[in-house]
Amino acid sequence: MRDLFDKIYKDKGPLGKWAAQAEGYFVFPKLEGPISNRMKFRGKEVITWSINDYLGLANHPEVRKIDAEAAKDYGSAYPMGARMMSGHTEMHEQLQNELAQFVNKEAAYLLNFGYQGMVSTVDALVSKDDIIVYDMDAHACIIDGVRLHMGKRFTYKHNDIESIEKNLQRATKLAEQTGGGILVISEGVFGMRGEQGKLKEITDLKEKYNFRLFVDDAHGFGTLGATGAGAGEEQGVQDKIDVYFATFAKSMASTGAFIAADQEIIDYLKYNLRSQMFAKSLQMQLVVGALKRLDMLRTMPELREKLWENVNALQGGLTKRGFDIGTTQSCVTPVYLKGSIPEAMALVKDLRENHGIFCSIVVYPVIPKGLILLRMIPTATHTLQDVEETLVAFSTIRERLEKGVYKKLSAGVTATMEEAE
């Protein structure tokens, strides 16, 4: 028999086994200084392309002022207890009402964290006779929600309408036997590659199949649509999304999240979301801060305009220079290059140390072997100068990659990794 901790001592897990090579630099890096377009990494200034502060609210003076005042007025404890017991306030209700109005739904309900709220919402929406049909590239919080489901679930090929339809047919047949219903889950924007979920096409399928649609719009909320209400608004189908979700962790630059739907659905979820019923209410400091941020989303369209000016300059510039940015339809900007994991590490080191560019790096198993994905998140705080410097740096590193410079630089790492594998 094995000791339960053997995997911890010996194997360390799929990511943990690279800790010696990666920790502190590629994973768990420490970005320092005020949150903005330029921060410090290991004492040097870098252009930061890896923070989801889309609208630049994280360090906006008006936001900082309200956050500080709310902390002074309420501390970080108030209100104590779960919403149902003693953690409910006028301000929580006001924020819910304003969020619902903003995303064009009858009602909304606050969640303490997006991840945990998403897990819980999936859990509350289905019972064991129901069937879940969801995108293969779904965020971990959707997958974890689905894991709680006691009934059947089918994945469909990422954003592939034919595959969705095939799985809806399978699910319909099964639901006829079990007497259950069908929940389809998609993201509004897929955070890694930036494609929008095919919400229009999915909702069109409602004419042929009986299902309800749940959309995680973490990256769409505040960035897409005429008013910033997200991917549903952008695609003109917000009214056909049955349950809409967004987090405060991106455009709102805070902590917390919400779901929005018809009043009756929210009333049901309010009494069935275990993660909210049995956990402390979102603290007032965050509620007051979210009210201010939401007000800025509504009244300062110039923030979204500046964001998109930067997105267009970055994505347009990369495309013009012949970079492969995949099929993004959002602010999320991926750049695909060909190379091994050790080459990717050497390349990112070059970008950070010699060009002052800090972006996230994604490699196998998240994307196919042999590909390197450099993921950039433009924000309203970036400048066109930041974009230009980044484009020049990217052209340089591509040239070095193609000439095999990083292969040579990473020969030692390659040998260590092969040994570890």
Contacting positions for ligand PLP (CB under 6 A): 113-115, 118, 139, 141, 187, 191, 216, 218, 247, 249, 257
Q: How far apart are CA 400 and CA 63, in angstroms?
A: 42
Question: At 394, which amino acid appears?
Answer: F
Other C-beta atoms within 10 Å of 249: how many? 17
Q: How far apart are CA 83 and CA 87, in angstroms?
A: 4
- N residues, the chain: 421
Helix, strand and coil content of the chain, in percent to the nearest 5, comes to: 45, 15, 40
Q: How far is the CB of 123 from ligand PLP (least distance, A)?
A: 15
CB 58 within 8 A of CB 35: yes
Three-state secondary structure call for residue 399: helix
Question: Which of residues 252 and 346 has its CB atom nearest to ligand PLP in the complex?
Answer: 252
* Cα dihedral sign, 18-19-21-23: positive
Q: How far apart are CA 401 and CA 191, in angstroms?
A: 26
For residue 333, what are the β-bridge partners? 376
Q: How far apart are CA 270 and CA 267, in angstroms?
A: 5
φ, ψ of residue 400 in degrees (nearest 5): -65, -35
Question: Which of residues 231 and 387 has its CB atom nearest to ligand PLP in the complex?
Answer: 231
Q: How far apart are CA 185 and CA 166, in angstroms?
A: 15
Q: How far is the CB of 219 from ligand PLP (least distance, A)?
A: 6
Task: Name the nearest CA neighbour of 305 among 386, 251, 380, 217.
Answer: 380
Q: How far is the CB of 2 from ligand PLP (least distance, A)?
A: 33
Q: How far is the CB of 140 from ligand PLP (least distance, A)?
A: 8
Q: How far is the CB of 192 from ligand PLP (least distance, A)?
A: 9
- Would you give the distance in Å from CA 216 to the centre of its chain? 9
Question: Which of residues 31 and 249 has its CB atom nearest to ligand PLP in the complex?
Answer: 249
Half-sphere exposure of 414 (CA within 13 A, CB side): 12
Q: How far is the CB of 52 from ligand PLP (least distance, A)?
A: 7
Question: Which of residues 218 and 314 has its CB atom nearest to ligand PLP in the complex?
Answer: 218
Q: How far is the CB of 197 from ligand PLP (least distance, A)?
A: 10
Q: How far is the CB of 257 from ligand PLP (least distance, A)?
A: 5
Question: Which of residues 70 and 192 has its CB atom nearest to ligand PLP in the complex?
Answer: 192
Question: Which of residues 22 and 249 has its CB atom nearest to ligand PLP in the complex?
Answer: 249
Tell the residue number behind the tokens 């492969």, with chain if given: 324
Q: How far is the CB of 116 from ligand PLP (least distance, A)?
A: 7
Q: Parallel, antiparallel, or unpaired: how do β-strands 31-32 and 38-41 relate?
A: antiparallel
Question: Which of residues 330 and 410 has its CB atom nearest to ligand PLP in the complex?
Answer: 330
Question: Which of residues 46 and 218 has its CB atom nearest to ligand PLP in the complex?
Answer: 218
Calculate helix-pair angle for 114-125, 140-147, nearest 10 degrees.
40
Q: How far is the CB of 111 from ligand PLP (least distance, A)?
A: 8
Question: Which of residues 247 and 379 has its CB atom nearest to ligand PLP in the complex?
Answer: 247
Question: Which of residues 192 and 348 has its CB atom nearest to ligand PLP in the complex?
Answer: 192
Question: At 407, which amino acid appears?
Answer: K
Of all residues in the shown chain, the one whose CB is closest to ligand PLP is 114
Q: How far apart are CA 223 and CA 20, in angstroms?
A: 37
